[in-house]
Amino acid sequence: MEITVARTFFWEHIWATLQEETDADPEESALLHLFLIRRRRDIGFAAHVATEAFSDEAAKTKFREALSRALAEETPDLTGKDRTDYFWHRYIERLEEGDLRGARLIETVLAAGVGTDDGYLAPPVPAGTSPGVRSWTQQEKAIVTRLARWSDLYFEAPFFTDFPATQIIPAELETASFTFVTLGELLGGAIPPGSAESFEKFVENAAASIALFWFTGMKREEQIALLNTAYPFSIEEETLDAFVDLFDDYETLLEDATDLVRRGFGEEARTVYAYIILHARNPIHRHAAYTNLAVLFREEHESGRAVECAERALAVLEAEADPDPYRLGLARKDVGETNFLDGNIEKAETAIASAIRTAEDLAPAQAAPLLWAVASSLRRTGQFEDEYAVLTGILDLEVTGEAMDAAMERLFSMDQYARPDGTFDRKGLLDVERRRRYLDHFGKGAALLQTFQFDRAIACFEAALALSRDTDLLRNTGIAHRLYGSPTKARALLEEVLEACPDDLYARVHLGLLIGGDEGRDLISAAMEEAVGQGADLALVLYPVVQHAAARPEDGIIAEIERYADLPAQEGKRSLFYLGAGTALADLGFKKEANTCYRRALKANPPAAVRARVLRNMGVLAAEQGEDERAAALLGQAIQAAPEDPTIWHRLARVRAALGDPDGAADAAREAARLAPTDESYQQEKALKAAKNEVPPPSLEDTIASELIDAGERLIEHQAGVPTALRAYAAAAARLGLDPGEPIGEGDALSERARLFTLIRGA
């Protein structure tokens, strides 16, 4: 029995089957999308889901059935192939079966490319239908805004995309064991050998599929309640026992602990490191755990414990028969830094000097990174003259690499604070170091928000504020408190911002939303008038207002926005307000309300440039809804108001193409490119529309070949879909009994398209 699909493409199999067998609506799709995002970003949520899903026998039964189907799926040899190859095979299979809907659902996935890190591969929209994918995703966004408690977090691109393949979650460990047992049973007791990477992917996909079957089996209101709850995360020693019993892999534990630290879960990482110290037999693993613990204690200002861990890490290495001198140098550097922070200056100087002597005996390629580590320790402890000397020593090594580049950059930075006597402006350099620590806390806080760990995120922002009462951070921390924390603290922080900067538009808007009532309305209205006067982007300034209104549609979205619209019509102020509100509403997927705002903007007697932007945006909304004739008319009016705006011509090119007017599409794309000669996307659009006009697709009697040509014409419109578009053209030629030959290459896709079309016409 072939197991490549089950082992390597199980999630792809599950996803395609789900889309083919389910007639999903936008709300169902949106909630599934939120579920997958949350499961990948929020380890507390993932732990809760894993526990509940593994206890659901119905979900495990569906997994077993799906795995059986995957094992029974007949495929060509896909060993070493990627996701696109699997979906291409499935696409062709559906075409040959006469399942046009199934084929076009797969085409939508192929147009999206590799998909997202959360596992949501593409919306369940057949390619070539209208309204299309854009309209569906906007409907999803409106549903998220209306139903999700923390909708703004789902819309942001994640800080971290390299999620760990293995998470230290008890139920996921049970799930891993269960999936292997199930696979073995379905294969008659023996699992064929394979790479560790493929089996790891199988376990990950199997766990995701069980979670998916559990979630889709819930009632809609239960799904919403699940997504609107915060879940804490912790690690117990029993979990680590289970992990080691199953995998016997301390290396992965170390990697997961490092990932926990990076994401702000320092306390949980301590638990993992302590477990490794107690249980690991390999001294390298214990050394790494002690070293990382020393860093954690150092950054948390527990200098005594940091010294103890650093010295134990060094002792582990020194006990080896033949210790690695590079590791010894790093360990001595750590002992020096932690002792300096603990006030043991003489001991610190001895250890640092020993680390530098170790570097002298190493080859330059190893000496440079060791010296850079020493210099970094000296920087963190404020020993700038010594740091400068070590950095200069790196330059003397005359090597290339990251350490040399970093040393040169740091030396250049330090030279700005150098004094004639060879000393440095300590205050200036300490301010730089304080700024680095401030940005580190801020970055961790922003990342923790995206993992739905609100208390930890706000604690990081507060730690940054202890270093600097920066107005941007004060505002952002205030906003974080308003959305996820304490309203009282939010108000105090936003008021502090306005005391320092009375014209801060975003602080005024968020404070107005927090206060509410007439006082809040007056604050926001004043901010709107100030924003118009400043020429600010009103869509950005209004975004929190619009999002606040859209999340409470029962109060009337337009009625809520109207509370702040009392602006004079002169100089286009009122029209700009409605344009900004409409743009924010459209971005959130509220098309009807966006059009209402756009119509009110037109009634407010806007200047020509504002009128053109309103008409353009209305044309875009019409196109997204499949109303191409209306979209063309609106964009034509926009061009009359602003004939030199390339964005309007760019949109018109796509609409003319959708209307089957290749001449008009090519002319509009050419004009957009002329008006914006440095915009690469416009230049690409010009070339594509010209190629489609000059070399139209051939008309074919063979229905499958004809569909392949049509699919290629749709796919080539998307950057991610270009390779598959060429594949579709070549498959059409092969179906007609022609030899498509060797492709010219993806870099010249339009020439390859023309060559294949010429070949097909010649037959």
Cα separation, 405 vs 23, in Å, equals: 55
Q: What are phi and psi of 418, to 5 degrees?
A: -75, 145
The whole-number pLDDT of residue 115 equals 59
Q: Residue 649 pLDDT more than 90?
A: yes
Distances from the Cα of 247 to the Cα of 176, 240, 242, angstroms: 10, 10, 9
Residue closest to 16 by CA, chosen among 106, 76, 89: 106
What is the tens place of the pLDDT at every residue in 417-435?
A: 998 888 889 899 999 888 8
Cα separation, 315 vs 544, in Å, equals: 55
Specify the DSSP element, H or E, that contains 617: helix 608-624
Q: Residue 163 pLDDT more than 60?
A: no
The mean pLDDT value for 537-541 works out to 90
Residue closest to 167 by CA, chosen among 253, 286, 51: 253
**Which range scores top for mean pLDDT: 306-320, 465-479, 730-744?**
306-320
For residue 65, give every residue at least 6 positions away whose Cβ sits within 8 Å of its Cβ, in sequence order, or none. none
For residue 290, give every residue at least 6 positions away whose Cβ sits within 8 Å of its Cβ, in sequence order, or none. 273, 277, 309, 310, 312, 313, 316
Q: How many CB atoms lie within 10 A of CB 604?
A: 23
Q: What are phi and psi of 126, to 5 degrees?
A: -60, 135
> What residues does each domain of the chain span?
4-227, 237-433, 695-762
Q: Give me the DSSP letters along 429-475.
A: HHHHHHHHHHHHHHHHHHHHHHTT-HHHHHHHHHHHHHH---HHHHH
- SS3 of 469-514: the string is CCHHHHHHHHHHHHHHCCHHHHHHHHHHHHHHCCCCHHHHHHHHHH
Burial of 85 (0-12, 13-18, 19+ CB in 10 A): middle
What is the tens place of the pLDDT at every residue in 488-517?
A: 999 999 999 999 999 999 999 999 999 999
CB 723 within 8 A of CB 736: no
Distances from the Cα of 556 to the Cα of 151, 460, 551, 559, 602, angstroms: 19, 37, 10, 5, 21
How many residues are recorded in the chain?
Answer: 763
Q: Residue 401 pLDDT more than 70?
A: yes
The mean pLDDT value for 566-585 works out to 89
Burial of 686 (0-12, 13-18, 19+ CB in 10 A): buried
Q: Residue 424 has what DSSP assignment?
A: B
Residue owning tokens 């609409």 = 655
> In whole numbers, what is the pLDDT of the chain averaged over residues?
90
Distances from the Cα of 216 to the Cα of 41, 58, 450, 605, angstroms: 19, 11, 24, 50
Cα separation, 55 vs 160, in Å, equals: 30
The whole-number pLDDT of residue 165 equals 46
Q: How far apart are the first and last CA of the chain?
A: 41
Residue closest to 379 by CA, chosen among 422, 335, 341: 341
CB 127 within 8 A of CB 104: yes
For residue 665, give every residue at least 6 positions away whose Cβ sits within 8 Å of its Cβ, in sequence order, or none. 653, 654, 656, 657, 689, 692, 693
Is the torsion defined by CA of 721, 727, 730, 732 positive or negative?
negative
Q: What is the pTM of this model?
A: 0.87
> Any bridge partners for residue 424, and if so which?
418
Is the torsion defined by CA of 351, 356, 362, 367 positive or negative?
positive
Q: Residue 423 has what DSSP assignment?
A: -
Q: How many CB atoms lie within 10 A of CB 23?
A: 9
The whole-number pLDDT of residue 506 equals 94
The whole-number pLDDT of residue 116 equals 63
Q: Is domain 237-433 annotated with CATH 1.20.950.20? A: no
Q: What are phi and psi of 490, to 5 degrees?
A: -60, -45
Cα separation, 440 vs 42, in Å, equals: 20
What is the tens place of the pLDDT at every residue in 64-118?
A: 999 999 998 888 888 788 889 999 999 999 999 999 999 999 999 999 876 566 7
